């Protein structure tokens, strides 16, 4: 029923495009939050020595993602940030 309502409301091309963008953005934010939650849950179960290594790996992975995105869509926001850790946090703030 909800799907039929959405399809009838967004029957116009512009509205349909907005719906697709909204759904894709919501889904990508959901996946990012889910990944962060799963990473946090796995770190809680680790020993102290393993936590430091896991946190460092997560930071390196997030920095790599940030560098990839900074070359594209978010280039104008994070291009001038030289510190990769700050760039990674800026990436998360911009994305969320």
State pLDDT tens for residues 65-74. 666 655 555 5
Q: Answer whether 40's CB lies under 8 Å from 51's CB.
A: no
More confident call, 69 vs 26: 26
Three-state DSSP class for 29?
helix
Mean of the pLDDT values across residues 43-60?
69
Confidence class of residue 45 from pLDDT cuts 50, 70 and 90?
Answer: low
In the chain, where the domains are located: 1-45, 46-96
| Element at 4 (helix H, strand E) | helix 2-9
More confident call, 9 vs 72: 9
Whole-prediction pTM = 0.37
Exposure b/e, 1-25, CB count within 10 A at least 16 = b = eeeeeeeeebeeeeeeeeeeeeeee
Q: Answer whether 66's CB lies under 8 Å from 89's CB.
A: no
């Amino acid at each position: 029923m909800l799907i039929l309502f959405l399809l009838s409301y967004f029957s116009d091309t512009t509205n349909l495009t907005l719906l697709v963008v909204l759904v894709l953005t919501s889904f990508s934010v959901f996946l990012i939050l889910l990944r962060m939650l799963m990473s946090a849950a796995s770190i809680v179960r680790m020993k102290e020595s393993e936590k430091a290594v896991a946190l460092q790996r997560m930071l390196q992975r997030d920095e790599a993602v940030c560098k990839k995105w900074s070359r594209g869509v978010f280039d104008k926001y994070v291009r001038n940030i030289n510190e990769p850790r700050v760039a990674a946090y800026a990436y998360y703030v911009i994305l969320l």
